[in-house]
Amino acid sequence: MLFNSLNFAIFLPIVFILYWFVAKNNVKFQNVLLLIASYFFYACWDWRFMFLLMFSTLLDYVTGLKMQNAENQKGKRFWFWLSIITNLGFLAVFKYYNFFAESFTKVVSQIGWEISPMLINVILPVGISFYTFHGLSYVIDIYNNKIKAEKNIIDYAVFVSFFPLLVAGPIERATHLLPQIKKERKFDYTKSVDGLRQILWGLFKKIVIADSCAEYVNLTFNSSIEVSGIDLLIGAFFFSFQIYGDFSGYSDIALGTARLFGIDLLRNFAFPYFSRDIAEFWRRWHISLSSWFKDYLYIPLGGSKGGNWMRIRNTFIIFIVSGFWHGANWTFIAWGILNALFIMPSILFKSNRNNIEIVAKGKYLPSLKDFIQISITFTLVTFLWIFFRAENITHAFNYIYNIFSISFFTIPTILSKRLALLITFLMFIEWVGRDEQYAIAKIGLQWNKIMRWSFYLAIAYTVMLHFGSKEEFIYFQF
C-alpha cells in the first residue's frame, strides 16, 4: 500500500477512527490495533514476507530477553551474535547474495576460471533494510546495557513494524520510540493538525515534485547517449529534486501519520539543499541513517579519537557501508566513496562542524558567501547523485562524459516551465520555513482563516492535479 494511493486514503482514516474512538485511551488496545494495522499494511505488498518480518521481530525480542537474563558475558555474547548474524544473514541473502555471486564470478573469470553463478530468484522484501536496522539497534543497545529488554511482545512488535515507518524509515531507536509506545496517548488536536499539515507537504513533495521530475529523469538517464549535454545536466539536477521530493516527502508523510496517532518519530531531513558544505549536508540528509551509522559503526570503530588516519579510515568505512546499505550495486559503493572523498577536506581541516545552525538564521536572505557555498554544495551533491541513479559505473561515467560534450552548447529540450515553477515554489517555501521541523509547519498560522485555508487548499489542489500514473517511492527498494 503506497502512501500516495487511494487505498491508503481509505486505510488511514479507518485506523485513525478505530484508534481514537474504539481503542480510546487504552494503550494496550491501541497497540494491538496498531500492530494489526501495520501487519495488514505490510501484507498488502506481499503477505509472504510478513512472516519474515514476524520472525525477525520474534528473534530480536527473544534474544533481547535472553541477553538480559544471561548469567554471564559469554551467554550474553552468544545471544547477541545469534541475533546480529541472523539479521544480517537475512539481509545478505535477500539483498546482496546475487551481487556477491555475480561479482565473484566476474573476478574469477579474470583469472581464466569460467563458472556460472548460482543465483537466487527472489524479490527484495520491502523495508528489510529499515526493520533490520531497527532490530539491530535494539539488540546492540541491550548488549551495551543502554536499555532494558522489552517484556511486552506487542509493544516490541509495534516498535519494529509501526506502519508509518515500516517500509522506508525513519530508522527509529528503541530509546526514542519504545517509551512512546508504552506511554498512554491522548488525542491532541494541535498535534493532529500539525500531522495533517506535514502529510500535505509530504504529498506535495512526492507527487508534485518527485513524480514530475521522474518523467524527465527517466528520459535522460535511460537515453543518455542520445540526449544532449545540457539536457543531461538538467536531468541530473532534476534527479536531485526527485530524490529529495521522494524521500523527504515520504518521511514527512510518515512523521505526519505517526503524529496523528500521538507518536513523534525521529526527524529525517532538515533542509539539506541549503547546506553550505558536504558535512552539513550529511547532518541534514537521511538523519536517522547517518546517526545510526555514527552511533553503531563510526564511534565503535574509534570515531575521530585516534588521529587523522583513524578519522580517514572510519569516514571511508561508514560511507562505503552506507552506500552499500542503499543497494547491491557498485554504483552505490562508488557513491559512498565519492562522498567520503568530498567530505574529507573538512574532516582533515576540522571544519566539518563549522555550519551547525541553519543558514541565515533569522534573516530573509543568505549572504553572498552562504549563497555561493550552498550553490557549490548542491552542485557537488548533484554530481554524486549521478552515481546513485546510474545503472552501473560505466553508465555513470558515460553520463558525466556526455554532459561535457559539444552538445552542451545547444538549446535544452527538456526544460519544463511548469516544473521549473514548481521547483521554485518548493525551494521558496522550504527557505521560508527552514527554521521549523518541516517547511509549512508555521507558514500561515498567523494569517486569517480564509487565507490559511486557501493556502492549504491550493497545495492540496495542486497535489490532486498531479495524481495519475503512480511512481513508487525510490527508498522502498532499499
Partner 1 sequence: MKKLIKQVFIFTFIITVLFTITLLRANNGYSDPFYKRFTSPKQESLIIGTSKAAQGLQPSAFKKYFSKNIYNYSFTIVHSPYGIVYYNSIKKKLKENTKNGLFILTVDPWSISSNTKNPNDSKNFTENDLCLAYTSSVNINPNLEYIFEKFSGKYYKLFSQTDKSMFLHDDGWLEVTAEMDSLSVTKRKNEKINTYKKENLPNFKLSEFRLKYLKKTIQFLKLHGDVYLLRMPIHPDFFKLEQKLMPQFNEVISEIVPLTNGYLDLTTTNSKYTYIDGIHLWKESGLLVSEVVANWVAKKEKSE
Residues found near partner 1 in the complex (CB under 8 A): 6, 20-21, 187, 189, 192-193, 196, 211-212, 418, 453, 456-457, 460-461, 464-469
DSSP assignments along 276-297, one per residue = SSHHHHHHHSSHHHHHHHIIII
Q: Are 87 and 137 spatial neighbours (Cβ–Cβ below 8 Å)?
A: no
Q: Which is nearer to partner 1, 203 or 344 (by Cβ)?
A: 203
Q: Is 95 or 197 the residue whose CB approaches partner 1 more closely? A: 197
CA dist 323 and 393 (Å) reads: 14
Residue spans of beta strands (DSSP E) within 72-222: none
Phi-psi region of 451 (alpha: psi -120 to 50; beta: other; left: phi over 0): alpha
CB of 416 to partner 1, least distance (A): 8
Q: Which amino acid is at 357?
A: E
Please answer whether residues 392 and 329 qualify as being in contact, where contact means their C-beta atoms are separated by less than 8 angstroms.
Answer: yes
Kindly state the smallest distance separating residue 459's Cβ from partner 1, in Å: 10
> Are the CB atoms for 144 and 181 separated by under 8 Å?
no
- Write down the residue that cell numbers 518480518 correspond to: 53
Q: How far is the CB of 472 from partner 1 (least distance, A)?
A: 16
Cβ nearer to partner 1, comparing 150 with 211: 211
Is the Cβ of residue 255 or residue 384 nearer to partner 1 in the bound state? 255
The answer to whether the CB of 177 falls within 8 A of the CB of 265 is: yes
Rg (CA), the chain: 23
**Does residue 390 contact residue 307 with C-beta atoms inside 8 Å?**
no
On the CB side of 437, how many CA atoms lie within 13 Å of its CA?
19
Report the first-to-last Cα separation within the chain, whole angstroms. Answer: 16
In the complex, the smallest distance separating the C-beta of residue 468 from partner 1, rounded to whole angstroms, is 4
Tell me whether residue 316 or residue 425 sits nearer to partner 1 (CB atom): 425
Least distance from partner 1 to the Cβ atom of residue 442, Å:
18
Provide, rounded to whole angstroms, the least separation between the CB of residue 41 and partner 1. 20
Instruction: Retrieve residue 13's grid coordinates.
Output: 482514516
The residue (of 16 and 237) whose beta carbon lies closer to partner 1 is: 16
Task: Give 197 or 311: the residue with its C-beta nearer to partner 1.
Answer: 197
Does the annotation count 134 as an active-site position? no
Q: Which amino acid is at 288?
A: S
What distance in Å separates the CA atoms of residue 171 and residue 288, rounded to the nearest whole number? 5
Q: How far is the CB of 217 from partner 1 (least distance, A)?
A: 15
Cβ proximity to partner 1, 50 vs 422, nearer residue: 422
Q: Which of 134, 326, 395, 466 is catalytic?
A: 326
170 cis-preceded (ω within 30 degrees of 0): yes
Q: List the one residue out of 209, 320, 332 whose CA is nearest residue 273.
A: 209
Provide the 8-state DSSP code for 467.
Answer: -
Q: How far apart are CA 243 and CA 245, in angstroms?
A: 6
Cα–Cα dist 102/10, whole Å? 43
Residue (200 or 390) nearer to partner 1, CB: 200
Question: Cβ 469 to partner 1, closest distance in Å?
Answer: 6
Torsion of CA 282, 288, 292, 295, to 10 degrees: 80
- Give me 4's grid cell: 500516495
Distance CA 28, CA 19 (A): 11
Q: Cell triple for residue 197?
A: 499539515
Smallest gap from Cβ 6 to partner 1, in A, equals: 7
Estimate to the nearest angstrom the gap between the alpha carbon of 283 and the chain centroid: 13
Residues designated catalytic = 326
